[in-house]
Chains A and B, each alone.
Chain A
């Protein structure tokens, strides 16, 4: 026990003495939290809207005016011809082109059905879907005054006008994406910092030769590893704390659930990450190698965590892989506890899986650290 204290003391001294690393550990992640949480939005705004008005009547101008009034659309151009609109789309100058046919107003007054052409840049399929919904909504509302039929991909979707859906959004009533993203991004930061620090630390001692000096002392493997990892565990918990304060103060993210529960889970979760870092450290000879391997896993873990894309929409085999992704569990737990107020029993499956993961990774890490080769 006393030996461990000497190591911890040494590690903390080295961390706080390293003036280059301190801001990287404490300032950058929090800047990232503030910036990313504001930037990583799923909302589609500022859609560049163009139109071809072949009708030139008060009705057609009224329809365009509806788009102009919407905060989602920036009405840009009145294209004189379809060819010009296409070339503007090609150059990326417009996202959506609405074509209003000739005799639009006259046919409407005669209660004849009419078709509007909508062209959407669908390179980003998800965004195109959202744009389509916005366009449809605006035209439908316009239609409540004057009957218009919009040319839709599926012509069958004719809404009965006497049925209306009233959505209730639970756990995030205002659909505020920040409420959704902040806990997730906080998870990433805690993970990345602790993984990189632990992954680089022991390999660094290999590089400078001090690890050999440690290996000729009678220190026990477990003492050394606990002493090495404890400071990073503390840093991880510290980051979580600062991150939660920022989440509350700056983003006003609701914290419905129990804070102690979140800390209990995180304390186990960080052990998983540290175990992985240490394991990487044991199989690499230079910090550069360790960095590359840590990055490789981080990218996979992040993209398959359900943070940016829902796991439910991944193919079956990919969903199987996510079972081995610690970040997935952390994201789930953070969102469950913070937004839904889930209790101990609700997160028990994640807690157990994470705990087993921690045991396995740290077991592997201790096993793969060899004082005698």
Chain B
């Protein structure tokens, strides 16, 4: 396989009974790229993502993530990826530091490394004052940023973000994207789904899913040209309305 392609997907399909949730999607993602994975609600984004992160078995097709096959080597994939779900998934009844320690421990980091990572992460996010507070008491925006940083704790090759900025204010969203850029600059590939079309503009390349199929895939600039649209919002509306 090409070392620059960290995700290679070919004809990947997921069926639930008669319903085809993901219909033979094909795409590739380069190393260090920010790849926007767009689509309306129910288009199949989350299902597709769950196959790539190894928690949902594909029905057919091929896919290779971080060099491992999604059918046979899901556990190897898991060592090399980070994931942040659309539902906040840290423990509300643990403190900031305890959450970081727990996930660091699960990924097999050494005590020393966990300590270093925690300190760096808490400082970077400016959480010094709340480091020993329960996560449940933090505002949503802070939780999301923490959750993103925790998904990067084991320095994964790829991080999958499922609607990471849902429900947070514009300032926090901007700060969040700064974190994403920082991760991408350090060589982490970012695979992100979003509903916000302004965020789609921040991505290197964007795919748009409609009813389980990828209907468009290119850089935001080229997509706007292709669909003769002023912004990504119009591109999306043209596609999603069919």
Contacts and interface: CB of A to CB of B under 8 A. Distances in A.
A324 B214 CA distance: 53
Nearest to B114: A6
Interface stretch (A67-75, A140-148, A206-214): A206-214
Contacts of A208: 87, 89, 92
A13 B81 CA distance: 27
Nearest to B147: A213
Contacts of B87: 208-209, 212
A204 to B, nearest CB: 11
Contacts of A219: 106
A25 to B, nearest CB: 15
A216 B83 contact: yes
A373 interface: yes
Contact of B85 (A18, A212, A217): A212
B101 A217 contact: no
Interface string B78-102: 1101010101111111100010011
A221 to B, nearest CB: 10
A60 B94 CA distance: 77
B53 interface: yes
Interface string B162-201: 0000000000000000000000000000000000000000
Contacts of B27: none
| Chain B binding surface SS class | loop
B62 interface: no
A5 to B, nearest CB: 8
B55 interface: yes
Contacts of B105: 2-3, 5-6
Contact of B56 (A10, A209, A373): A373
A13 B107 contact: no
A14 interface: yes
B103 interface: yes
Contact of A216 (B76, B81, B90): B81
Contact of A13 (B53, B56, B98): B98
A218 B53 CA distance: 11
A20 to B, nearest CB: 11
Contacts of A213: 83, 85, 89-90, 103
A217 B153 CA distance: 11
B231 interface: no
A373 B55 CA distance: 6
Interface residues of B, number: 29
A216 B78 contact: yes
Interface in A324-373: 371-373
A149 B91 CA distance: 77
Nearest to A371: B55
A214 B57 contact: no
Interface residues of A, number: 25
A7 interface: yes
B108 interface: yes
A17 interface: yes
B55 A212 contact: yes
Contacts of A18: 93
Interface string A161-191: 0000000000000000000000000000000
A215 interface: yes
Nearest to B98: A13
Contacts of B56: 372-373
Given A209-B88, A212-B85, A217-B107, A371 B74 contact: yes
Contact of B94 (A3, A10, A373): A10
Nearest to B160: A216
A219 B75 CA distance: 8
A115 B189 CA distance: 99
Contacts of A14: 91, 93-94
26 contacts: A2-B108, A3-B108, A5-B105, A6-B105, A7-B102, A10-B94, A13-B98, A14-B93, A14-B94, A17-B93, A209-B87, A209-B89, A210-B89, A212-B55, A216-B53, A216-B83, A217-B78, A217-B103, A218-B76, A218-B78, A218-B79, A371-B74, A372-B54, A372-B56, A372-B57, A373-B56
Interface of B: 53-57, 74-76, 78-79, 81, 83, 85, 87-94, 98, 101-103, 105-108
Given A14-B93, A219-B106, 5 more contacts: A2-B108, A209-B88, A216-B53, A218-B76, A218-B78
